[in-house]
Amino acid sequence: MTGQAKPGFPEMRAARRKGLVLFFWAFVFSIFVNLLMLTGPLYMLQVYDRVLASRSVETLVALSVLVLGLYALMAVLDYARGRVMARVGARFQSALDGRLFEATLYRSSDPREHAASGAALRDLDSVQALFVSPVLLALFDMPWTPVFIAAIFIFHPILGWMAVAGGLIIVVVALLNQYLTGYRVRKSQAASQQAHTFADHARAGSEVVLSQGLAGNMRKRFMRLRNIALDQTVHSNDWTGSFTAFTKSFRLLLQSAMLGAGAYFVIQGELTPGSMIAGSILLGRALAPVEQAMGNWPILQRARSGWQSLGRYLQTVPPRPKLIELPKPEAHLVAKAMTVVPPGQRKPTLRNITFEIKPGQALGVIGRSGSGKSTLARALAGYWPLAAGEVRLGGATLDQYNPDRLGQHIGYLPQTVSLFQGTVAENIARMESDPSSEAVVKAAKQANAHDMIMQLPKGYDTFLDGNENQLSGGQRQRIALARALYGDPVLLILDEPNSMLDAEGSEALNRTVSGFKRSGRSVIVMTHRPAAIAECDLLMVVEKGMATAFGPRDEVMQKTLKNVEPVRTSLQGKNKVAF
Ligand SMILES: Nc1ncnc2c1ncn2[C@@H]1O[C@H](COP(=O)(O)OP(=O)(O)OP(=O)(O)O)[C@@H](O)[C@H]1O
């Protein structure tokens, strides 16, 4: 985590500071690498002006051995600074990885945010990629460009001015490149992001895509998005490629021009041959970082736009504050004037709901499709925030609990079950990596899932690969129920818990609910099926997001149901009628 830094850019800067010491060393190594760059020109100078003049083989050998050593040292330092920068990048990324993952999780409660979350993870990668790319090292080398040019001035002012003019032309070309390609890179990124999201959705819905003949149309739509991205990438690469080719040839031309001009000054007696060659090499060294930075410009652009959007993204999801650990609460739930607006929406889908459940009680919530039952379940489980009102469990409001701890106190079985990559045991144990076998089996037995799990190829150690078709709907629902029961929660929220269960599973569920009540804990069941409320003492009827009745189950049924008699008989477990 990134300490106390404010969300967004400050915490990203704090993450960057984690690599500051390493950054410093990379800078120091760069100073020596650049000083050692002078080895070549100085060698030339000595060979041409001293060795050739004196015809001394000993001097040549001594100089050559020295140069060999200096080049070896330069190679080691250059390698070292590359390694150091890779670690700067790794520190930056690992400082933000966990925080960003958590932020994407919190934002994913609004389905429209899925694409933004995927993009944020890629943005972090693109910033990290900058650290390992040669661009930053080239930027470290750039301050030496004027030093090398100054050295050329010492040889001859006209050669110096030639270098300055050449350098300026290369810089102007680099800026032009940035101006012409920046917009295309951004457009290509946005289109490729859209294509990724589209492909994710298509894969998730592959059952429908493949069985209902959508594949061809989906493919066309995907290709359209990809082609926009490709088009922009090809265009920006064309621009960058042409600028890179121009810069490279221009630099070679400039070096030859320097040599030509140098030869002229040698003839005029204003320059030694050694200085002529050394000047040309120095020019190459001076302009190499500019050329390298330009060749890798798209990396810098992606990192820059990644940094901006990542900062804005993190700003919207501040890190969760550290909260005092509250003790395990009593199973006493009080909801006062609860109003819930789904994330990303404006209109409440649940309004002014007030009720109370005491330890040992079970509440059934019934209502038509779309009346707000699942909304109530999500808000009570702490997944969707309240827009108004409050919910207290054991005297404390839900947001006073640390979210992970609250999850341990509340067992929640959502209507749509999600299981994750891991073993059945890990899934039941809420993805703990070394769960207690005893607790896992206990939860599975309570959920009437134990025997079913023993039938799986490797029992509790069967690996679920995230493929929804690996288990049947009923098997998934039972494993998810075991997960809800894991760790002895005090409150159980079950949204349509027997929608996939057979009669036997449904009866077992009622036994679980009754055992829960006996141990002084409470249960809330959202359902369409009378069998699911057989153990409920209280009943709430929800219509268009409002509670139209609440009280003892039989009283409420008597008052509100038209088909009260058939419902009463189906309470015994036969799913004959719906409410
Ligand atoms: N993620 C969401 N974003 C926006 N609106 C939503 C979202 N989920 C549900 N709604 C809306 O909230 C209202 C209540 O939906 P909810 O799922 O709570 O009903 P329900 O009673 O559980 O229905 P069902 O019995 O069909 O499961 C509906 O009008 C629905 O369109």
466 or 507, higher pLDDT:
507
Atom of ligand 1 nearest to the CA of 528: 25
The Cα–Cα gap between 10 and 21 comes to: 18
**Does the pLDDT value for residue 160 go beyond 90?**
yes
Among 349, 526, 540, which is best to mutate for testing ligand 1, by the most ligand atoms less than 8 A from CB?
A: 349
Q: What is the pLDDT of residue 507?
A: 84
* DSSP letter for each residue of 50-100: IIHHHT-HHHHHHHHHHHHHHHHHHHHHHHHHHHHHHHHHHHHHHHHHHHH
pLDDT per position as a tens digit, 330-344: 999 999 999 999 988
Q: pLDDT for 349-394, tens place per residue? A: 999 999 999 999 999 999 989 999 999 999 999 889 999 999 999 9
Q: Which domains are present in the chain?
A: 9-316 (1.20.1560.10), 333-564 (3.40.50.300)
The values of phi and psi at residue 125, to 5°, are: -60, -40
> Could you tell me which of 486, 227, 497 has the C-alpha nearest to residue 373?
497
How far, in Å, are 176, 240, 255, 260, 288 from residue 244 at the CA level? 12, 6, 16, 24, 12
φ and ψ of 389, to 5 deg: 85, -170
Determine contact, residues 478/446, Cβ cutoff 8 Å.
Answer: no
Q: Name 171's Cβ contacts closer than 8 Å, sequence gap at least 6.
A: 290
From ligand 1's centre to the CA of 370, what distance in Å? 5
CB 527 near ligand 1, within 6 Å: no
Q: Is 93 in the pocket of ligand 1 (CB under 6 A)?
A: no
Higher pLDDT, 86 or 563: 86
Average pLDDT over residues 546-559: 91
Q: Is the CB of 369 under 6 A from ligand 1?
A: yes
Distance, in Å, from the CA atom of 188 to the CA atom of 185, rounded to the nearest integer, reads: 5
**Is 467 touching ligand 1 by the criterion CB < 6 Å?**
no
- Tell me which residue of 344, 443, 352, 440 sits closest to 390, measured CA to CA: 352
Q: In Å, what is the CA distance from 62 to each residue of 47, 51, 58, 68, 236? A: 11, 11, 6, 10, 50
- The pLDDT tens digits for 59-83 are 999 999 999 999 999 999 999 999 9
- How far are the Cα atoms of 183, 344, 402, 426, 473 from residue 323, in angstroms, in the given order? 44, 26, 6, 27, 37
Three-class DSSP category at 345: coil
Residue 547 Cα to ligand 1 midpoint, Å, equals 15
More confident residue, 433 or 14: 14
**What is the b/e burial string over 314-326, where b = at least 16 CB atoms within 10 angstroms of the residue's CB?**
beebebeeeeeeb
Pocket probe mutation, ligand 1, options 347, 366, 371, 528, max atoms within 8 Å of Cβ: 371
CA of 105 to the centre of ligand 1 (A): 20
User: What distance in Å separates the CA atoms of residue 183 and residue 162, rounded to the nearest whole number?
Assistant: 33
Look at residue 164 in the predicted model and tell me its pLDDT.
92
pLDDT at 579: 66
pLDDT(569) > 80: no
Q: Give residue 93's pLDDT.
A: 93
Instruction: Take atom 19 of ligand 1 and give the residue whose Cα is closest.
Output: 370
Q: Counting Cβ atoms within 10 Å, is residue 119 exposed (0-12), middle (13-18) or buried (19+)? A: buried
Q: What is the C-alpha separation between 129 and 132, in angstroms, rounded?
A: 5
How far apart CA 20 and CA 1 sit, in angstroms, is 16
Predicted confidence band of residue 398 (pLDDT cuts 50, 70, 90): very high
| Threshold 0.90, pTM exceeds | no
pLDDT of residue 324: 82
Q: Tell me the per-residue pLDDT of 225-240, one tens digit each, with 9 for 90 and over.
A: 899 888 888 887 888 7
For residue 345 and ligand 1, the question of a CB distance below 6 A is answered with: yes
pLDDT at 1 (0 to 100)? 43
For the beta sheet containing 333-340, the strands, ordered from the edge strand earlier in sequence to the opposite edge, are 350-357, 333-340, 388-393, 396-397
Could you tell me the pLDDT band of residue 6, with boundaries at 50, 70 and 90?
A: confident
User: In the predicted model, what is the mean pLDDT of residues 441-464?
Assistant: 93
Mean pLDDT of 424-438: 91
How far, CA to CA in Å, does 118 sit from each of 103, 124, 197, 306, 564?
11, 10, 8, 12, 49
